[in-house]
Amino acid sequence: MRDALVAAAFQLFLERGYEQTTVDDIVALAGVGRRSFFRYFPSKEDVVFPDHERCLADMTEFLAESSDDEPVRRVCDAVRIVLRMYTENPTFSVQRYRLTKQVPGLRAYELSVVWRYERAFADYLRGRLAGRPDGTLRADVIAAAVAAAHNNALRSWLRSDGEGDASAALDHALGYVQQAFAGPRAPHGEEEPEDVVVIVSRRGAPMWRVVREIESTLEQD
């Protein structure tokens, strides 16, 4: 029933346009009553995004089950669940992408969905980074970075009509996130160790040579 309603809705959206299609039109084509529609979808907007609630629940459960000592990696793994939701049905995902570009209200709805994913990442990270320096700030920044990496890979894939390797594009984007944020941090209350460079030079050596040795050493790092 749920799939039939989604199929009927998108057939009408493509034929008539989103604004010109009513809930009554959808249920008539699907051969069901209005009560059946609202049993599955609170509004017409929700039928455009039928899989996000399930995906958000699966992703939140995945994060809750984490015993990983590397929370950034866990969040990166979690966002791959979201991408997989899109890539499992390329035709539907591309149709939805084109539709949301045409209807500002759907674009706003989609942004609110993306925000919910980002908040789920942030909530998880806040719990895992609690007690660390700037734990809440780091959690929010990392969550936003993971969401941005996912959106970049997803949009590129959708603009290509679902061609190409979206997973590889996401892995590439997440590499920047992990490189920037996955490093070890000092426990709360402790200073992070400083990076110290020691240069041995002959007494009386000209300053330009000492500076050159320092620059050479830093470039090697």
User: Could you tell me how many residues make up the chain?
Assistant: 221
Q: Identify the pLDDT of residue 68.
A: 61
Instruction: Count Cβ neighbours within 10 Å for each residue of 35-65 and write b for 16 or more, e otherwise.
Output: ebbeebbeebbebbbbebeebbeebbebbee
Q: Identify the pLDDT of residue 74.
A: 94
Whole-number Å distance between alpha carbons of 161 and 97: 9
DSSP state of 41: -
Give yes or no on whether 1-45 and 51-181 have one common fold: no
CATH topology assigned to domain 1-45: Arc Repressor Mutant, subunit A (1.10.10)
pTM, full prediction: 0.76
CATH topology assigned to domain 51-181: Tetracycline Repressor; domain 2 (1.10.357)
Q: Identify the pLDDT of residue 9.
A: 94
Q: Identify the pLDDT of residue 192.
A: 45
The residue with tokens 């995945």 is: 62
- The residue ranges of every structural domain in the chain are 1-45, 51-181
DSSP state of 72: H
HSE at residue 213, side-chain half, CA atoms within 13 A, is: 12
Taking the chain (221 residues) in runs of 10, the rounded mean pLDDT of each run is: 92 92 94 92 92 93 82 95 95 93 91 93 93 91 95 95 94 94 52 52 61 59 50
